[in-house]
Amino acid sequence: MMKRSVLNPSNAAAIQAELMSRNPEVFEEQEKTVREILTAVRRDGDCALLEYTEKFDGVVLTPDTLYVSEEEIEEAYKNVNPELPEILRKALVNIRAHHEREKRNSWFATGDDGVLLGEKITAMDRVGVYVPGGKAAYPSSVLMNIVPAKTAGVREIIMTTPCRRDGTIDPGVLVAAHEAGADRIIKAGGAQAIAALAYGTETIPKVDKIVGPGNIYVALAKKAVFGIVSIDSVAGPSEILVLADHTADPRFVAADLLSQAEHDEMASAVLVTTSEKLADEVEAHISEFVSRLSRKEIMTASLEQYGHILIAESIDQAIELANAFAPEHMEIQTENPLETMTRIRHAGAIFLGPYSSEPLGDYFAGPNHVLPTSGTARFFSPLGVDDFIKRSSVISYSREALEKIHTDIETFARCEQLTAHANSVAVRFE
């Protein structure tokens, strides 16, 4: 079911290229549609948003019914698994605690002659959180996108998600949004919802940043409005790389690979191991699990297209490949996972040992599960509090302090032929 090969530089590069191909850069037809939608919503506001919502989601809304009401939230609590609210609250304790540790404070440093330098940390005023409503509902993603924004001190969080044809939203998503602290919830999805958040409409205020995953139209819309607003990233399909040696439990490894393969047909699951025996046993357990788990067709398609078992000659070679892939999720199931982890340079989230299964990070541990995909862990980080703040430099010089260096500044400015810059300093000492 998964492709199996002995690792060498040639096939490693080919596999890496194959995985990158899941995110083609050109979607000409979709980009044309997205541009039309963005233009219409920017020009016509609510009218265009409601028209596209009827066209794509099959539901007729009005400005008065665009937002989720308190009554709808109360109804959602009646329609979810009765255990879910308490589980969400337990998860929120861990997620909030983790993100509290990420908070940074303004700082100021004073020097001789009346010099004061520093940084002022300020949260964004308003953030939009997009929640998809396609093949599955993800209350966990609601928590992971809202909590760091709330922790940073964002004043208002507006969540938007497509509603069903009867005008309702998945109750689990609504309960999660309420528990996490969303201020308003909009019943709209797709590129039209992104446009409404980016430009503002008669009933939806413009936001400063848009976060959250979505389909290709949502991703292209976010990409297009970047610069008008900030965005988190343009996320690709999910992926996991398990780095394992002979000490790993093959049943655990097989289960963890499938935990990502079930997301969608484009998801990638890769095992890199130094043990052929482990590889054999993992393959057997995968077949066993797939035969009795739901979403069998999705897992099978994912594994056949983008699933790999790679046999490395040494742990050094395995680590080299793991760093080259820079996966979204990396599990380390080796004899000494902590020591192995110190040699990992590029990964979105790292899970150590046999009892740190990837879903632990998805739901409960606390670190954010919104992670860089498609090798972007080489330069991107998990979503966090820093994504919802801005840093303002603070500079204050006394006359005495400026007098010591004013001729240097004036000379520097004239070297760049910016005489007004030089004059701005010089006039203070005429």
For residue 273, count CB atoms less than 10 angstroms from its CB and return exposed for 0-12, middle for 13-18, buried for 19 or more: buried
Helix (H) or strand (E) holding 272: strand 268-273
d(CA 366, CA 349): 12
The CA angle 111-116-122, to the nearest 5 degrees, is: 140
Backbone φ and ψ for 304, nearest 5 degrees, come out as: -70, -35
Strand partners, 390: 122
DSSP label of 380: -
Choice among 328, 331, 358, 410 that is catalytic: 328
Q: How far apart are the first and last CA of the chain?
A: 81
Q: 224: which residues sit within 8 A by CB, 6+ positions away?
A: 31, 34, 35, 38
Helix (H) or strand (E) holding 262: none
Nearest to 41 by CA among 159, 216, 188, 194: 194
Query: Cα–chain-centroid distance for residue 258?
Result: 21
Q: 135: which residues sit within 8 A by CB, 6+ positions away?
A: 264
Query: What is the full DSSP assignment across 183-246?
Result: SEEE---HHHHHHHHHH--SSSPPPSEEE----HHHHHHHHHHBTTBEES------EEEEEE-T
d(CA 301, CA 429): 74
d(CA 239, CA 110): 47
Please confirm, yes or no, whether 29 is among the known catalytic residues: no
* Collapsed DSSP state (helix, strand, coil) of residue 320: helix
Choice among 329, 331, 358, 369 that is catalytic: 329
Query: In one letter, which amino acid is 361?
Result: G
Please confirm, yes or no, whether 339 is among the known catalytic residues: no
d(CA 98, CA 413): 46
**Catalytic residue ranges:** 328-329
